[in-house]
């Protein structure tokens, strides 16, 4: 490994290669609890495409695996190191290269934070909708790797719906410019779409071209429903779908999450509340008022003990702050094992009921947050630090939730990616034929199997 490190240091700028134990340990894993990881031989902090190319070529020449990472905010172990690998960090690649307001697209390096891009393009009167809860700390490259969604995705779609081009460094160090900047284009296979969600197993994304929407013309109104049971809240979600209403957000937070946030932030909550539904519509004028009123009626009919409406931007943001703060608030209580299942919207009530049953049977605490409008549920399983028995019971509940999700016609990951934690679930979900297709594509693009080995699909190289 000294030979590889020496070659990297000779080829890269000063301070680009780190081998001190503190850095190796700090960048050896993402935020997934209980996902295995090893100790890398070195960490490269790339500042340019040339740095990435040189690093990959040197690693390939020595047969050393390469694990790319952005900010390390992933929740499935997708950025976890293997022993002796090269961790290739793109966190220093933070340039917003271009914003074309007339054609409504932007080009940004992989290390740009989601929120930073959103703020930057807002200055041009434009909007980048994908907004994962980690938007303030997650990078575009990481968002692309997992096809991240977010609060707005129920109406506006996920990362793949906005990525129209990528620059990718392949396993042999060659550079592929994929996609287009035109509004339409079908020349060749959709290789851009192939790389979105591939979790760094096919190539390393170094910059991203995304399409944008106009910022003007949206008038946000929030409708908040307080429910005495999770099942009632789930019924409200299903009723919104049946009514044909597509809110710009429909989020669920249960009492455990609410109390964690309230305790942390010093907020008061109604005692009878077991679950909160946060809906948002952004149609202007009378149509927005009409949709907000319809949502209010649905929430009340489904059993909402109290329903509130808000139209002032500050009030809307305050209400949705509870959703964005839920995960970090729960982390303060102990290690959190995060689920990411997605079921048909009509199955949300039943899935929530099964999650409650899994918690009761395993004797563990499971908090629930969800992008309920598209059936993407995030049960958060909490086990006390150092309690091995609780950890085993939490893992049992995790596996049961995955099985229940599949039984209801769902998928084992909606937006966090397979990484390491969801490999067994993916093996059950994907047929042998589909798994073989994955392996054929992997072998074609990465024949030596050096890019993020063992991630994203079972039996990976």
Q: What CATH number does the domain containing 65 carry?
A: 3.30.43.10
SS3 (DSSP) at 88: strand
pLDDT value for 271: 63
CA 39 to chain centre: 24
Answer whether residue 272 is part of any domain.
yes
Does 41 share its domain with 120?
no
Answer whether residue 127 is part of any domain.
yes
Instruction: Say how far apart CA 266 and CA 329 lie, in whole Å.
Output: 12
- The answer to whether the CB of 445 falls within 8 A of the CB of 60 is no
Of the candidates 303, 150, 283, the residue with the CA atom closest to the CA atom of residue 239: 303
Does 178 share its domain with 271?
no
Instruction: Say how far apart CA 340 and CA 133 lie, in whole Å.
Output: 13
Does 118 share its domain with 205?
yes
Of the candidates 350, 320, 322, the residue with the CA atom closest to the CA atom of residue 264: 322
Lowest-confidence pick of 65-69, 251-255, 257-261: 257-261
Does 345 share its domain with 239?
no
pLDDT above 70 for 406: yes
The region that residue 227 occupies, defined by phi over 0 for left and psi between -120 and 50 for alpha, beta otherwise, is beta
Answer whether residue 422 is part of any domain.
no
pLDDT value for 319: 73
SS3 (DSSP) at 375: coil
Answer whether residue 436 is part of any domain.
no
pLDDT above 70 for 263: yes
Instruction: Say how far apart CA 448 and CA 383 lie, in whole Å.
Output: 39
Does 303 share its domain with 345?
no
What's the CATH number where 349 sits?
3.30.70.2740
Answer whether residue 268 is part of any domain.
yes
Domain that holds residue 321: 226-325
Instruction: Say how far apart CA 461 and CA 449 lie, in whole Å.
Output: 5
pLDDT bracket for residue 317 (50, 70, 90): confident
* pLDDT, mean of residues 178-206: 96
* Better pLDDT: 187 or 2: 187
Lowest-confidence pick of 78-82, 182-186, 315-319: 315-319
Q: Average pLDDT, whole number, for the chain? A: 93
Answer whether residue 137 is part of any domain.
yes
pLDDT above 80 for 426: yes
Task: Specify the pTM.
Answer: 0.93
Does 245 share its domain with 184?
no
Token pair of 10, please? 């000779």
Instruction: Say how far apart CA 43 and CA 31 lie, in whole Å.
Output: 18
Tally the residues of the chain.
Answer: 461
Instruction: Say how far apart CA 179 and CA 313 lie, in whole Å.
Output: 36
Token pair of 115, please? 């929120």
Lowest-confidence pick of 17-21, 136-140, 141-145, 148-152: 148-152
The contacts of residue 314 (CB under 8 Å, 6+ apart) are none
pLDDT value for 270: 63
Answer whether residue 450 is part of any domain.
no
* Better pLDDT: 53 or 310: 53
Does 100 share its domain with 58?
no
Does 204 share its domain with 232?
no
pLDDT value for 459: 72
What's the CATH number where 181 sits?
3.30.465.10
Domain count, the chain: 4
pLDDT above 50 for 285: yes
Does 117 share its domain with 174?
yes
Does 317 share its domain with 356?
no
325, 358, 381 - which closes a domain: 325
Does 85 share its domain with 101?
no
89, 108, 134 - which closes a domain: 89
Q: What interhelical angle do 2-11 and 49-62 show, nearest 10?
A: 160
> Which DSSP string corresponds to 93-151?
---EEEEETTTTEEEEETTSBHHHHHHHHHTTTEE-----TTTTT-BHHHHHHHT---T
* Better pLDDT: 372 or 312: 372
Share above pLDDT 90 across residues of the chain, in percent, rounded to a whole number = 82
* pLDDT, mean of residues 249-273: 83
pLDDT bracket for residue 461 (50, 70, 90): very low
Answer whether residue 394 is part of any domain.
yes
The contacts of residue 404 (CB under 8 Å, 6+ apart) are 351, 354, 355, 358
Does 296 share its domain with 266?
yes
- For 219-255, write each residue's pLDDT tens digit: 989 999 999 999 999 999 999 999 999 999 999 999 8
- The answer to whether the CB of 156 falls within 8 A of the CB of 215 is no
């Amino acid at each position: 490994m000294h030979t590889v490190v020496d070659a990297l240091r000779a080829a890269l700028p000063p301070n680009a290669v780190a081998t001190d134990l503190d850095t190796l340990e700090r960048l050896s894993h993402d935020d997934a609890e209980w996902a295995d990881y090893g100790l890398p031989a070195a960490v490269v902090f790339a500042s340019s495409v040339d740095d990435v190319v040189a690093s990959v070529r040197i690693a390939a020449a020595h047969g050393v695996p390469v694990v790319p990472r952005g900010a390390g905010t992933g929740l499935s172990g997708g950025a976890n190191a293997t022993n002796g690998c090269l961790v290739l960090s793109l966190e220093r690649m933070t340039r917003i290269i271009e914003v074309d307001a007339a054609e409504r697209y932007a080009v940004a390096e992989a290390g740009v934070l989601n929120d930073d891009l959103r703020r930057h393009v807002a200055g041009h009167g434009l909007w980048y909708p994908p907004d994962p809860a980690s938007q303030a700390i997650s990078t575009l490259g990481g968002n692309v790797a997992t096809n991240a969604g977010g609060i707005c995705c129920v109406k506006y779609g996920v990362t793949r719906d906005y990525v129209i081009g990528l620059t990718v460094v392949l396993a042999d160090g060659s550079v592929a410019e994929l996609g287009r900047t035109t509004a339409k284009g079908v020349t060749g296979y959709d290789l851009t779409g192939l790389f979105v969600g591939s979790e760094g197993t096919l190539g390393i994304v170094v910059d991203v071209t995304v399409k944008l929407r106009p910022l003007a013309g949206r008038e946000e109104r929030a409708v908040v429903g307080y429910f005495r049971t999770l099942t009632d809240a789930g019924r409200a979600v299903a009723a919104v779908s049946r009514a044909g209403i597509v809110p710009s957000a429909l989020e669920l937070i249960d009492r455990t999450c609410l109390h964690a946030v309230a305790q942390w932030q010093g907020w008061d909550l109604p005692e009878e509340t077991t679950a909160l539904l946060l809906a948002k519509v952004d149609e202007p004028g009378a149509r927005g008022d009409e949709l907000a009123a319809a949502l209010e009626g649905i929430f009340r009919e489904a059993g909402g003990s109290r329903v509130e409406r808000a139209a002032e931007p500050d009030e809307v943001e305050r209400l949705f702050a509870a959703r964005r703060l839920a995960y970090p608030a729960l982390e303060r209580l102990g290690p959190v094992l995060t689920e990411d299942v997605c079921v048909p919207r009509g199955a949300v009530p039943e899935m929530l009921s099964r999650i409650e049953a899994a918690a009761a049977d395993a004797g563990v605490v499971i908090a629930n947050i969800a992008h309920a409008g598209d059936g993407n549920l995030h049960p958060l399983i909490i086990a006390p630090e150092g309690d091995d028995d609780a950890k085993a019971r939490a893992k049992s509940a995790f596996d049961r939730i995955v099985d229940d999700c599949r039984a209801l016609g769902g998928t084992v990951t909606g937006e966090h990616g397979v990484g390491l934690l969801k490999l067994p679930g993916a093996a059950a979900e994907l047929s042998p034929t589909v798994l073989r297709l994955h392996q054929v594509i992997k072998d074609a693009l990465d024949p030596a199997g050096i890019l993020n080995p063992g991630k994203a699909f079972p039996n990976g190289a």
